[in-house]
Chain A
Amino acid sequence: MTKDEVKQVVLDIIADIAPDEDLSNLKPDVRLRDQMQLDSMDFLDIVMELRKRHGIEVPEADYLQLATLDSCGEYLTPKFNALASKG
């Protein structure tokens, strides 16, 4: 998977968690929290949905890695690819 595809995965999750947010103009390098009303409950949900939908585990110590769309791409892409290669 490419980083852009991974970012889209995250966007799809946010769209389901927070259908009342406008995601069309999100800046990839700005903290999600600063562009949308996302609280710690919502971040927990992003993590939970990654696990539920894609089998990706994000330990609590790494939650900060999900701060921006870009950092999500950086952090999650190797995880997605590692999972894919395990088949």
Chain B
Amino acid sequence: MNSRSHYDVVIIGAGMSGLAAGIRLAHFGQRVCIFERHNAVGGLNGFYSFDGRKYDVGLHALTNFVRAGVKGTPLGKLLRQLRIERDAFALCEQRQSRICFGPQGDLSLRFTNDFAVLEAEVADRFPAEIDGFRRLVAKVRAFDDVALDAESVSARKVVAECLRDPLLIDMIFCPIMYYGSASPGDMDFGQFVIMFKALFLEGFARPRDGVRVILRVLLEKYRESGGERRMKCGVKRIIVQGGRASGVELDSGETITANHIISSAGSEETARLLTPPSASETVARTPGDRLSFAETITILDREPADLGWGRDTIVFFNESQQFHYARPSERIDVRSGVICFPNNFDYGPEDRLPEGILRVTCLADYRQWASLSEGDYRAAKTQGYQAMQVSAQRFLPASHSALADVTVATDMFTPKTVERYTGHLEGAIYGAPTKVRNGRTAVENLYLCGTDQGFLGIIGAMLSGISMANFHVLAKGG
């Protein structure tokens, strides 16, 4: 099985975007195969097993959550397009989250899946800014964020037309950038709108068993629809003849021909696959620093709330009044970051996770991690882990016990880990700073989906695959 040598569509990468594109195409009768170099699906939003535990990669929370009956939002579009029932994802809502700035995080804005909470917090802490904040929200609501050919506008500039207090501006940018900005300092307003809606106007949720629940649903749907996939089967080259991609060569040397190729590998990563290499000159190259992160996972012998850490689901922290979102000058920038407690989603009165989990994410510099020798790398991880826990705990209520005394297991990944498992250059979680919204490349039947197409978050990733499959293959009649 799965040994055909020609497909209507070849998809590179079995992450969220590739799987979603595959479902659409297979549903409408296209012969489609997804090729994935890794042995597991999920890409930037996967999971792995280690020492008998399953750990999520990427997913803190699914953003874009809306309750049943709320229409016209990305989650609803996604479910319709993939013919997936809402209940299949088994989403449980966050309890509450917070953005906190200052050495101990005293300047804080709380938010939940009810937007009125954030609005009231802004009115309370920044009374002079509430009118401007409402104007900004109106702009966000009115913006057409799904246009595939929109001009890029500075988000900082648009926000500054509404808000004056630099502290409030940075407090709003902090979660938005952490959850989706591929570019340092500023971002495209269209991207800002997508994230503002995803985080604040919509909200956070999570399946009790994490990202694997979503992946399982996608895989099942893909298989039912007749899609094929080949795992541990990387694409080594994309063969270009006369401006068209004729097919791909796999790591094994086998050649597969295809009418269309959709790549979720990233724009630069895809360009590097093109053979002859001169063909890569025709693909939009995406210069600029790629941003990456370090993430730690600490398994606790009790719930975070039982340590005195409260019920917060996600905490975005920054130790000063000014937020710096950029490639750090040191290996990890612990001045700001994100704390996630997967335990603090509302799983219902009877249901809880079997163990406590503390996750911390901070900006990290790929180059400094990549240049370390094996021994130094391990030592740097140990040191980085400690520094991140110390930093993060400044923004939590004092714990009843020392973290080390309640820690059952820990793990950590660095930009190097991300690059190794996902193939994304420099471990760029959100891809290159420049996005290719229409997914086009100069190779006429080769398209991009995923992070470098530029819809953000897990829901965005899936919508990216859907949109590119619709726009480039299905709408053209296959």
Contacts and interface: CB of A to CB of B under 8 A. Distances in A.
Interface in B428-471: 466, 470
Interface string B45-83: 000000000000000000000001101100011011101
Contacts of B474: 44, 48
B85 to A, nearest CB: 7
B317 to A, nearest CB: 37
A45 interface: yes
Interface string A17-53: 1111000000000000000010101101100100110
A52 B29 contact: yes
A44 B80 contact: no
B126 interface: no
A5 interface: no
B80 A42 contact: yes
B475 interface: yes
Nearest to B76: A20
A1 to B, nearest CB: 23
Contact of A45 (B68, B79, B81, B85): B81
Given A37-B72, A39-B72, A20 B86 contact: yes
A19 B68 CA distance: 11
A20 B68 contact: yes
Nearest to A51: B28
Contacts of B86: 20
A41 B466 CA distance: 10
A66 B415 CA distance: 50
A17 B470 contact: no
Contacts of B80: 17-20, 41-42, 45
Nearest to A37: B71
Contacts of A60: 475
A44 B470 contact: yes
Interface residues of B, number: 19
A12 interface: no
A20 B69 contact: yes
A6 B476 CA distance: 25
A48 B476 CA distance: 11
A52 B26 CA distance: 11
A16 interface: yes
A17 B71 CA distance: 13
Contacts of B72: 37, 39
Interface in B25-43: 27-29
B83 A48 contact: no
A22 B29 CA distance: 28
Nearest to A36: B71
A44 B475 contact: yes
Interface in B85-110: 85-86
Contacts of B27: 52
Contacts of A19: 80, 85
B12 to A, nearest CB: 24
Nearest to A49: B28
B81 A20 contact: no
A47 to B, nearest CB: 9
B404 to A, nearest CB: 48
Contacts of B69: 20
A41 B68 contact: no
B86 to A, nearest CB: 7
A48 B473 CA distance: 12
A17 to B, nearest CB: 6
Task: Tell me which of B79, B80, B85, B474 has the highest count of chain A C-beta atoms within 10 A of its own C-beta.
Answer: B80
A19 B28 CA distance: 19
Interface string B240-266: 000000000000000000000000000
Contacts of B79: 20
Given A18-B80, A20-B76, A20-B86, A41 B71 contact: no
Interface of A: 16-20, 37, 39, 41-42, 44-45, 48, 51-52, 60
Given A37-B72, A45-B81, 20 more contacts: A17-B80, A17-B83, A19-B85, A20-B69, A20-B71, A20-B76, A20-B80, A37-B71, A37-B76, A39-B72, A41-B77, A41-B81, A41-B466, A42-B80, A44-B475, A48-B28, A48-B474, A51-B28, A52-B28, A60-B475
